[in-house]
Amino acid sequence: MTARPATSKTAVVIRHILFEDLGLFEPVLTAAGYSVIYLDLDSDDVSTLDALEPDLLIVLGGPVGVYENDAYPYLAEERRILAARLAKERPTLGICLGAQQIAATLGADVMPMGHKEIGFSPVSLTDAGGVGPLRHLESIPVLHWHGDAFRIPDGAENLGTTELCDTQGFSIGRNILALQFHPEVDANAGIERWLTGHAAELASSRIDPRKLRAQAKTIPANARVAAEKMMEEWLAQIA
């Protein structure tokens, strides 16, 4: 792991596939004084990470299930790291698979929904979601791309729902945030990497990539600003 500058906070980001990166969130992190360090599965050994060292840990998405430990042993290693951080309430953000990993680490069930939720739609915020950083995303279409869902862990607050999935995010205090959806994706910049990288999943789910491309073109320009404000506010509140 690269040594961090003395004047900078460090955000370590576990990335499972290259095109599912921080997206809109990376410049927000940089502006907030974070040095961003990606850990990629092929080039970095996640097991060497000191779980408590990073000022912020972010676990991104990926096309596997948290229950596929035999096929993908790194999943158990990630949960070991998450368990140490969560026990100390160290700032941690999970997106999609990352959110499911946080839920599983906290003892909540994660399981297939029996259908896919892929495409753009707003998240209906709960009372808890509507008074926190996610309020910036109210009525904003965000990208959904998953077939599994988590139950809300004990002690966590459910932040939002959609028609296809009633657990879209949860928080624990100010430092732990898990989001099933993808606010980091800038639809205005196009989603060709997603459509190509997940082409096999789209085909098996009988989802036409042309429909998703057309959806992306209808996303309002303020969606980008809303996602950035959400992340800015969350970073400002973490301890």
Per-residue pLDDT at 190: 82
**Rounded mean pLDDT, 209-232:** 96
Name the CATH superfamily, with its identifier, for domain 9-237.
Answer: Class I glutamine amidotransferase (GATase) domain (3.40.50.880)
**Rounded mean pLDDT, 191-217:** 96
β-partners of residue 120 are 143
Domain ranges of the chain: 9-237
Whether pLDDT at 98 is above 60? yes
Q: Is the pTM of this model over 0.75?
A: yes
> What is the per-residue pLDDT across 104-133, written as a single tens digit (0 to 9) for each?
999 999 999 999 999 999 999 999 999 999
Task: Give the integer Cα–Cα distance in Å for 95 and 20.
Answer: 10
**Rounded mean pLDDT, 29-43:** 94
**Rounded mean pLDDT, 151-159:** 97
Residue 33 vs residue 43, higher pLDDT: 33
> What is the per-residue pLDDT across 65-80, written as a single tens digit (0 to 9) for each?
999 999 999 999 999 9
Whether pLDDT at 1 is above 90? no
